[in-house]
Amino acid sequence: MKKIDRSNPVRTGFHQAKWDEPVIFELTQPGERGVLVNKAEKAICEATEGTAAIPAFLKREQAPALPEISQPRVLRHYARLAQETLGTDVNVEIGQGTCTVKYSPKVNEQLANLPQMREMHPLQDESTAQGIMEILYKTNQYFCEISGMDAFTMQPGGGSQAILGMASLVYSYFKSRGEEKQRNEIITTIYSHPSDAAAPHLKGFKIIYLHPDKDGYPDFEAFKAAVNEHTAAFFVANPEDTGVYNKNVLKFTSYMHEHGGLCGYDQANANGLLGVTRAREAGFDTCFFNLHKTFSAPHGCGGPACGAVGCADFLEPFLPAPIVRFDGEKYYYDYENAKNPYGMHKIREFNGAAQVVLKAYAWIRALGAEGLYQAAKTAVLNNNYLFKKLMELPFVDAPYIPGKQRIEQCRYTLEKLLEETGVGTADIQRRMMDFGMHYWTSHHPYYVPEPMTLEPTETPSKADLDEYIATLKYVFNEAYTDPKYLKAAPHSSVCHQLDESNMDDPEQWAVTWRAYRKKYQ
Amino acid sequence: MRKIGLLVNPIAGMGGSVGLKGTDGLAEEAAQRGAVQRAPSRAEAALKALQPLRGNLTILCAAGEMGENEALAQGFQTQTVYRPNLPTAAADTIAAAKAIEAAGAELLLFAGGDGTARDLVAAGVQIPCIGIPAGVKIHSPVYALRPEAAGELACRVLQGERSRTKQIEVVDIDEDAWRADLVRTRLYGYLTVPDDRSLLQHGKAASPASESAQQNAIASEMAKRMKPGCFYFVGPGTTTKALLDGLGLEGTLLGVDLIADGKLLQKDLCEADILQRIREKESFLVLTPTGGQGFLLGRGNQQISGAVIKAIGKDHLFILATREKLFHLQGRPLLVDTGDPEADAGLSGYMRAIIGLGEEQMIRISAD
């Protein structure tokens, strides 16, 4: 038996499974079935004859084109795909800056999977749902305490929908004052999340972007020039993607209020702020939390998520219905807002993803108020440890205010590395996959040249951080010693390099099987 | 057998090594100062990346040091289509480019600097071009980041991996002014290049939508805002051209065109034309930054003079710009240099640029 050498934390032996798995629609075999369903008994057939009452125009003319495939083939298909992903449970999840991927306690999954939760129906009688209603109510209260807001809705199904919720609040507010046609512009910044522009745009607002000033803060002079009688609101993240906290944010929100506009705070990721700052005290009228970013619920891959939207009391009448309230004895649904002629009424069904709220509730309860503050402090400490270690490398830099501490993430630039080696951030990104690591560049367009955005959260231990740093250094070193091999990466991952030349052309996109068939078959 | 062109400007870059800020018209002096040729070795570096395709490739080139030597040195089969006069001059670059295109090249690799790109514009080259950076001044995004990247990109195009092309500005600094430490660029025209953001210069601002998709969105937004019964003077540039294209109008790429009510009224107006027609109706200017260095006025659109600006008014000015274009400012203001300090000062401050459908960006305008 040989002694195992663990002195090098870089996983040079990593190799991911590659299955060349077809799209499930391509696996279809006519007549193949997963389940053969017996013909229903006579009584059931009779009982369901009522479907004849469904108007003809609502009925399908032909069966949906679902894949015809047996159970083991379905299982194999998805098991293979699962092996081709790099999920948060298998890699040291530091490299997805701005995504804020933290550990989701598995015990909370079990809570969400309890029959009492799993088998509930949103329309069942309130008296039988008091447990989850209490959790919805209390989580709402916690969010109010954390943000300083007066009310929350759990209805939005994710961050972008939450921003749409904030934009809807703004729209409702001005509609109630007869100003919705005049106040049709929302100002945001290029370093806020792209959805801070996209979602209000969907609501019909015109979007005005601000560039940062030389220190990386939103340019206040540009902001003042942008504000006019058409301005409805200012939507911004703080810190923005750069990780630099704008301590002058109150100046922005005050100016906006002086000119009749509202302020929305993108707190999707409030990871460095829990127990430190509160949105309301920074002058914001509405804000939102992504429960999968800040409160440990898992990222849903587009599945169930929750972007909880909060607001000050004067906006509460415009929140969607229902709102869970407590009368001193029992919890009940308040549908009053559904009658508000100016309200948004609904942004998603019922109370949103109750299981996700349950997981966030469990996490908050497990940590307590002090624990939340400790999580924020640890996230900031982790990030600044990483920041210090990486900034020691001569070819790594971070734009704006040299030496200033970042909050929970940082956008670095590898411009010098590119100049010296010809290796850019996209090359590093692909090569990190060869070690089972995520690495993220930036939202587009790349305002920071050759960007690298890392965000550790409070999850990783020092050993995790050191492993990630060692892997990055290994790859950086390769840029100088074997750039050709590096640029040909990934070598041990699922996909080799793709032809990206038309990936920015909407005419050639096919994001559904139907679109693919229409365009390419 | 596939055919591509190779054109080497043998004197490109010589001035730089001996402190001459460009070699245009100064090749002899550069040589006397001991400058060595750098374009040939850089051309060869690019050709190295094409080695995998060598057996199936004929290089169309000019004789001797204008491409033939480099291609032969790298073991490529060549076909000489032009014989230059010695010493070579800009006229040779122009004639060789024409001959290469006429001989059926599907792509032109050329080693040089901004002056060389300018010569290709003068030659009216229509096929996609990829510049091998070898000159003292490299401002045009026609150039690859490095010589090897030029070859790599050519390889990808030939293998069908870069089928899309786009038109890019060819700008050059006025070398006489530069030598006097004045930086003035001019827009000379447009060349077609493979649309690749990772290998060409100025390619850092990758955005989710292609530049042409952004231009179309900007054009749609602008078209929505155009009022009936008014004049719109549309300045030069590919972004403003997208507006004309979107309206189905045959305008010019380099000139100022007048449109009203969806119709093209006049093409390629000079300053006097503009000033005269402004008097007829309420008028708006539609501009995009041109000529590199983030100039909104004074580079490539000199017909829009200070007098024109004063007559139209700042509040009747629309600025169209893609995110990529604004990205390259890196926080710097858009510059105006109409030659009329009063007009320039009047434009200074913050303005809005249309960057997409219902999307604007605050930009700073400065005369400094």
Contact list in A for residue B349 (CB cut-off 8 A) is 225
- pLDDT higher than 90, residue A52: no
d(CA B152, CA B156): 6
Contact list in A for residue B359 (CB cut-off 8 A) is 197, 201, 206-207, 209
Cα of A227 to nearest chain B Cα, Å: 11
pLDDT at A421: 93
CA angle A291, A292, A295 (to 5 degrees): 55
How many residues are recorded in chain B?
368
Instruction: Identify any residues that bridge with A326 across adjacent strands, giving them in sequence order.
Output: A331
8 Å CB contact between A308 and A137: no
| Interval B240-266 mean pLDDT | 93
d(CA A130, CA A149): 24
Cβ of residue B205 closer than 8 Å to a chain A Cβ? yes
Query: What is the CB neighbour count within 10 angstroms for residue A47?
Result: 10
* Contact state of A504 with B350 under an 8 Å Cβ cutoff: no
Per residue in B50-108, pLDDT tens?
Answer: 998 988 999 999 999 899 999 999 999 999 999 988 787 889 999 999 999 999 999 99
8 Å CB contact between B171 and B188: yes
Cβ of residue B176 closer than 8 Å to a chain A Cβ? no
d(CA A67, CA A74): 10
Beta strand pairing call for B108-112 and B77-82? unpaired
- pLDDT higher than 70, residue B24: no
And the tokens for A331?
Answer: 């919890």
DSSP codes, A91-130 = S-TTS-TTT------HHHHHHHTSHHHHT--TTS-GGG-H
Query: Can you give the residue ranges of every domain in chain A?
Result: 111-363, 368-487
Contact list in A for residue B326 (CB cut-off 8 A) is 211
Out of A190, A210, A501, closest to residue B195 by CB:
A501
Query: What is the CB neighbour count within 10 angstroms for residue A26?
Result: 9
8 Å CB contact between A264 and A219: no
d(CA A485, CA B135): 29
pLDDT at B206: 47
Cβ of residue A484 closer than 8 Å to a chain B Cβ? no
Instruction: Identify any residues that bridge with B363 across adjacent strands, giving them in sequence order.
Output: B351
And the tokens for A323?
Answer: 């709102």
Q: With both helix axes pointing from N to C terminus, report the angle between B114-123 and B90-102 in degrees, rounded to the nearest 10.
A: 50
Provide the b/e sequence for A298-336 (b: ≥16 CB within 10 Å). bbeeeebbbbbbbbbeebbbbbbbbbbeeeeeebbbeee
Per residue in A78-112, pLDDT tens?
Answer: 999 999 988 888 989 999 888 889 999 999 999 99
State percent of chain B over pLDDT 70: 85
Contact list in B for residue A448 (CB cut-off 8 A) is none
8 Å CB contact between A365 and A359: no
Out of A223, A501, A506, closest to residue B196 by CB:
A501
d(CA B137, CA B155): 25
Cα of B238 to nearest chain A Cα, Å: 18
Q: What is the distance, to the nearest Å, from the Cα of residue A74 to the centroid of all Cα atoms in its chain?
A: 29
Which DSSP letter does residue A40 get? Answer: P
Instruction: Identify any residues that bridge with B144 across adjacent strands, giving them in sequence order.
Output: B200
Cis bond before residue A105 (omega within 30° of 0): no
Cα of A238 to nearest chain B Cα, Å: 20
Cα of A445 to nearest chain B Cα, Å: 4
d(CA A429, CA A97): 12
Beta strand pairing call for A286-290 and A262-266? parallel
Mutation site for B-interface testing, chosen from A191, A202, A209 by largest number of B Cβ within 10 Å = A209
- HSE-CB at A107 with a 13 A cutoff on CA atoms is 4
And the tokens for A66?
Answer: 């679902």
d(CA B6, CA B147): 13
How many residues are recorded in chain A?
521
Mutation site for B-interface testing, chosen from A440, A443, A446 by largest number of B Cβ within 10 Å = A446
Cβ of residue A446 closer than 8 Å to a chain B Cβ? yes
Superfamily designation of domain B2-194: Probable inorganic polyphosphate/atp-NAD kinase; domain 1 (3.40.50.10330)
Per residue in A389-401, pLDDT tens?
Answer: 999 999 999 998 8
8 Å CB contact between A230 and A250: no
pLDDT at B332: 81
Out of B162, B163, B362, closest to residue A226 by CB:
B362
- Local structure of A251: helix, strand or coil: helix
* Contact state of A501 with B359 under an 8 Å Cβ cutoff: no
Among A residues 212-271, those touching chain B with beta carbons less than 8 Å apart: 212-214, 219, 221-223, 225-226
The H or E element containing residue B257 is strand B256-260
* Contact state of B358 with A207 under an 8 Å Cβ cutoff: yes
Per residue in B193-252, pLDDT tens?
Answer: 988 766 665 544 445 567 788 899 999 999 999 999 999 999 988 899 999 999 999 988
Out of B162, B359, B363, closest to residue A207 by CB:
B359
d(CA A131, CA A148): 25
Out of A206, A214, A450, closest to residue B331 by CB:
A214
8 Å CB contact between A209 and B353: no
Q: Which residue of B has its CA nearest to A215?
A: B331
| Interval B2-31 mean pLDDT | 72
Instruction: Identify any residues that bridge with B285 across adjacent strands, giving them in sequence order.
Output: B233, B317
Give chain A's radius of gyration (CA, Å): 25
Cα of B360 to nearest chain A Cα, Å: 5
State percent of chain A over pLDDT 90: 77
pLDDT at A49: 73
Out of B198, B352, B361, closest to residue A426 by CB:
B198
d(CA B101, CA B127): 7
- pLDDT band for B326, please (50, 70, 90 cuts): confident
Contact list in A for residue B347 (CB cut-off 8 A) is none
8 Å CB contact between B163 and A501: yes
* Cα–Cα separations (whole angstroms), residue B221 to B52, B319, B332: 46, 12, 25
Give the contacts of A277 (CB within 8 A, at least 6 positions apart). none
Cα of A149 to nearest chain B Cα, Å: 30
- pLDDT band for B28, please (50, 70, 90 cuts): low
8 Å CB contact between A458 and A33: no
The H or E element containing residue A201 is helix A195-202
Out of A212, A222, A505, closest to residue B350 by CB:
A222
- pLDDT higher than 60, residue B287: yes
Nearest-10 Cα torsion for A362, A363, A366, A370: -140
And the tokens for A339?
Answer: 């009658």
Out of A223, A445, A502, closest to residue B206 by CB:
A445
Dmax of chain A from CA atoms? 81
Contact list in B for residue A225 (CB cut-off 8 A) is 349-350, 362
State percent of chain A over pLDDT 70: 98
8 Å CB contact between B107 and B127: yes
The answer for B261, left when phi > 0, alpha when psi is -120 to 50, beta otherwise, is left
8 Å CB contact between A249 and A263: no
- pLDDT higher than 50, residue B349: yes
The H or E element containing residue B111 is strand B108-112
d(CA B305, CA B293): 19
pLDDT at A107: 95
* Contact state of A445 with B207 under an 8 Å Cβ cutoff: yes
Contact list in B for residue A236 (CB cut-off 8 A) is none
- pLDDT higher than 90, residue A368: yes
Q: Among residues A458, A432, A392, A428, which one has the least CA distance to residue A101?
A: A458
And the tokens for A11?
Answer: 């996983």
For A155-201, strand residue ranges (E) read 185-189
And the tokens for A67?
Answer: 């894949």
Cis bond before residue B84 (omega within 30° of 0): no
- pLDDT band for A233, please (50, 70, 90 cuts): very high
And the tokens for A491?
Answer: 């070598």
Give the contacts of A506 (CB within 8 A, at least 6 positions apart). B209, B213
Dmax of chain B from CA atoms? 65
Q: Among residues B103, B197, B123, which one has the least CA distance to residue B112?
A: B123
Write down the ipTM of this complex: 0.87
Give the contacts of B55 (CB within 8 A, at least 6 positions apart). none
Q: Among residues A481, A498, A480, which one has the least CA distance to residue A489?
A: A498
Which DSSP letter does residue A295 get? Answer: S
Which DSSP letter does residue B119 get? Answer: H
8 Å CB contact between B34 and B57: no
- pLDDT higher than 50, residue A430: yes
Out of A208, A499, A504, closest to residue B208 by CB:
A504
At the topology level, CATH places domain A368-487 in: Aspartate Aminotransferase, domain 1 (3.90.1150)
d(CA B308, CA B277): 10
* Averaged confidence pLDDT in chain A: 93
Q: What is the distance, to the nearest Å, from the Cα of residue B149 to the centroid of all Cα atoms in its chain?
A: 19
Q: How many CB pairs under 8 A join A and B?
A: 87
d(CA A91, CA A439): 11
- pLDDT band for B181, please (50, 70, 90 cuts): low
Out of A201, A213, A445, closest to residue B324 by CB:
A445
- pLDDT higher than 80, residue A504: no
At the topology level, CATH places domain A111-363 in: Aspartate Aminotransferase; domain 2 (3.40.640)
Cα of B302 to nearest chain A Cα, Å: 28
8 Å CB contact between A393 and A479: no
8 Å CB contact between A305 and A274: no
Cβ of residue B229 closer than 8 Å to a chain A Cβ? no
For A83-201, strand residue ranges (E) read 151-153, 185-189
- pLDDT higher than 70, residue B136: no
pLDDT at A402: 85
- pLDDT band for A439, please (50, 70, 90 cuts): very high
* Contact state of B210 with A226 under an 8 Å Cβ cutoff: no
8 Å CB contact between B214 and B356: yes
Cβ of residue B204 closer than 8 Å to a chain A Cβ? yes
Give the contacts of A351 (CB within 8 A, at least 6 positions apart). A122, A136, A154, A155, A322, A324, A357
Question: In chain B, what are the helix, strand and coil shares in percent, each to the nearest 5?
Answer: 35, 25, 40
